[in-house]
Structure 1
């Protein structure tokens, strides 16, 4: 009888030294998707061992970003620093196994020996690797180094990169414990991943070299290695490493720019992973399709045009009440009034024209404007002479209109143009100037529907009064 495989456990392990980077967000998403696809667990570990750079504000920023994206862990987060005693316990085990040794070199001695090794084209080796310390030595400060095996290459079967090999002689003996007793990153990661039951380590390929050192630690402890999957980094549209000059890098910036979390999940999933030609897909579809064999090796390129296209799609699918709330928040952030009733009337008429929530805010400006609208010289020029008389007749005709929906109003406008014996080009610009004061707006029927009957008729009356 064969035992069933261990349930899949993935983890996202950010360092709280700043905001949640879009690359980190994609790593979290890939881990989340893979766990969901395999009916496993998705965990979060905060790697806060760098006490000088780790901040509470950064921790909050990371979790705020993950919450906005909807990437919720299946268990409470683990904080790495709190596990330092466990890390030191494992170092003692490695010492007992002969897989680690105490190094009594000072920082200055280590630097000098390392420089000499580099000048001679060889790897640095501590003389304490094969030296037994005396009782007097043990009274002095020391670091603990991993005693790497020297007789075989290090081989990692990476689920994305394929087989990767390193010459063990090219790797130095990694410091596991600093002279102040603080565990180092590579040791802490191995211990935490093992204790958390992590089966798949999905992370950026900038950690690929760490996989060699971490694999040796797993082997020395007799622990099974997780499946490693190192995904390519995100580059800018020009193929260069993503930087500030390419635009927003932090997840919170994308939220403030008016992107929806479901759109970001869709776009980030597609950034470096593919399922056929699918570009637009739901979370349910992404979970059903996601696997590591669809992740590419080449760096993914951030494409803001494609992100806008994806976001526009999800804006059209979004609930109108939710869009009203998001648009109101965006308006308040930039110090503008947010009349929920006006937004609720306008957003259904304009959301198919918008790419972001900020676009919605801009495109509802015509509906949010207060009467009487100030008419500029161009508008006054349009509403003059025969055009003004025609606008007056249109106002009277609309005054008798009872069905104030966009389709009914479009039909009424068409019928009016036919009755007047003119093309719609003689009516639309004049009516739009009166109704919007030159602000961007959708088709005239939708503009009237968004404004509502009383507001529309009132604005037409105002325009006629101003152009007497």
Structure 2
């Protein structure tokens, strides 16, 4: 048997972290077992589904690196297939037309609530013998009334639901369009899905879908329902807790590897290991190790992981992601040092790529103003002599290399009998605009000789203008 899993989002919004974790677990299970991972877009909610949301889902999957073996498939392209299955269920006596009005159903619900009964359809049309559709009729699945549905859930253990607790759900609306529970069943059947991995908010749908599959004499997949993700306050994760859209994490400067590593540990563990490469995730992942209780999203832990990956991932790979952030600042990366060199210079002090990009602007773009506090402390009248001496020494260099620059700065400090800070800090503010940068020799090497000399002259002129 070939393991086949699927990720089946509804395109009614962005790809959120809960969906991303579901996609990740489904992807890992298929990859671990040499199976097939399918992407299916469940877009039958025509009023709420948008192309923008489809694009956001595809973009999120691509950014995360969760490649799919088949798809994306769109449910709206399979309406004829759903229509045929609905007719099959009617013909074999497993579905029927229901003409109960909205007012009737609302009154039924009100009466049941008043009697403290579980609101459910009472089956009025179940035995009416209505064989032909009417304009105002829906189609309901004739759910078994006896026995139980046993769900051997791979995460939560066996779940047993009595059929008498399930009413006859609608599988086709009055306009003939299929409903969610019907389309999911048909697609899972046609795509030969062996394992359905999804959020536990679908547990109530599972026994209904299993009954429809059995009515169609189809194989029933194994189910694994993942517990929800909570915010720090214990409430279900939402926008008010911060970034919940996958692409918002991209925008906020996170690497996809960091987010994937964090998501895989939300409810799953392999001993005490915290850092996982993609290969290690695939090797060790097992649904049996998924925790059945909810997980809490911790932004501080994610930030720690992100800094780890910025520090230890291939600098060229990190530079590829940094490029996007540099470009968002209106900067052409080709106007300065290579981004790989920039990553090596900035990664220790940068927890996100947003921080790294912001801290790197002066390497690519001239600045108009100095950071006020830094300038007041370091760009003083006394600094003119220091900067002048540095300018003379740097102008005479024929090889602009870090080791030589390091030697020049130290030599100027010694010749002027000054502490290194009295030389390096005015120089740093002069060429960077603030007192914060990588080591001064690295900073100068990346800036280049021309920019360094121009900015030193600019700083000297600035000091003279304010004094």
TM-score tier by shorter-chain length is 0.7 to 0.9
CA positional deviation for 1:224? 2.2
Equivalent of residue 364 in structure 1, options 350, 360, 363: 360
Name the structure 1 match of 2:238.
243
Name the structure 1 match of 2:9.
14
Distance 1:465-1:107 versus aligned 2 partners, 3 A rule: closer
Corresponding position: 1:149 with 2:144: yes
Name the structure 2 match of 1:56.
51
1:366·1:439 contact (CA, 8 Å) conserved in 2?
no
Corresponding position: 1:340 with 2:337: no
CA distance in 2, matches of 1:47, 1:466: 62
1:414·1:424 contact (CA, 8 Å) conserved in 2?
yes
Name the structure 2 match of 1:40.
35
Q: Which moved more, 1:441-450 or 1:408-417?
A: 408-417
Within 5 Å, which residues of 2 pair with 1:68-467? 68-120=63-115, 121-122=117-118, 123-129=120-126, 131-133=127-129, 141-317=136-312, 320=315, 326-334=321-329, 336-344=330-338, 346-370=342-366, 379=375, 381-384=377-380, 387-399=383-395, 404-406=400-402, 409-410=405-406, 413-414=409-410, 417=413, 422-438=418-434, 440-467=436-463
User: How many residues in Structure 1 have an aligned counterpart in Structure 2?
Assistant: 460
2:326·2:333 contact (CA, 8 Å) conserved in 1?
no
CA positional deviation for 1:307? 2.0
CA positional deviation for 1:281? 2.1
Distance 1:247-1:39 versus aligned 2 partners, 3 A rule: same
Superposed CA deviations along residues 347-392 of structure 1, whole A, max 9, x for unmatched, are 4311332222211221113323427875858526534465543444
CA positional deviation for 1:302? 2.1
2:97·2:130 contact (CA, 8 Å) conserved in 1?
no
Distance 1:138-1:404 versus aligned 2 partners, 3 A rule: closer
CA positional deviation for 1:124? 3.5
CA distance in 1, matches of 2:99, 2:191: 33
CA positional deviation for 1:213? 1.0
Superposed CA deviations along residues 247-278 of structure 1, whole A, max 9, x for unmatched, are 12222222222222232222222222222222
Distance 1:422-1:146 versus aligned 2 partners, 3 A rule: same
CA positional deviation for 1:397? 4.6
SS in 2 for 1:315: helix
1:9·1:40 contact (CA, 8 Å) conserved in 2?
yes
SS in 2 for 1:279: coil
Q: Which moved more, 1:227-236 or 1:89-98?
A: 89-98
CA positional deviation for 1:28? 1.3
Distance 1:108-1:378 versus aligned 2 partners, 3 A rule: closer
1:343·1:364 contact (CA, 8 Å) conserved in 2?
no
CA distance in 1, matches of 2:411, 2:291: 57
CA distance in 2, matches of 1:248, 1:134: 51
Name stretches of at least 5 consecutive residues in structure 2 with no aligned partner: none
1:372·1:459 contact (CA, 8 Å) conserved in 2?
no
Distance 1:161-1:58 versus aligned 2 partners, 3 A rule: same
1:19·1:62 contact (CA, 8 Å) conserved in 2?
yes
Q: Which moved more, 1:247-256 or 1:313-322?
A: 313-322
Superposed CA deviations along residues 34-72 of structure 1, whole A, max 9, x for unmatched, are 111111011011111111112222222221222222222
Distance 1:253-1:383 versus aligned 2 partners, 3 A rule: closer
CA distance in 2, matches of 1:10, 1:112: 41
CA distance in 2, matches of 1:92, 1:465: 85
- Please give the TM-score of this superposition, normalised by the length of structure 2: 0.88
2:327·2:333 contact (CA, 8 Å) conserved in 1?
no
CA RMSD of aligned residues (A): 2.9
CA distance in 2, matches of 1:417, 1:112: 89
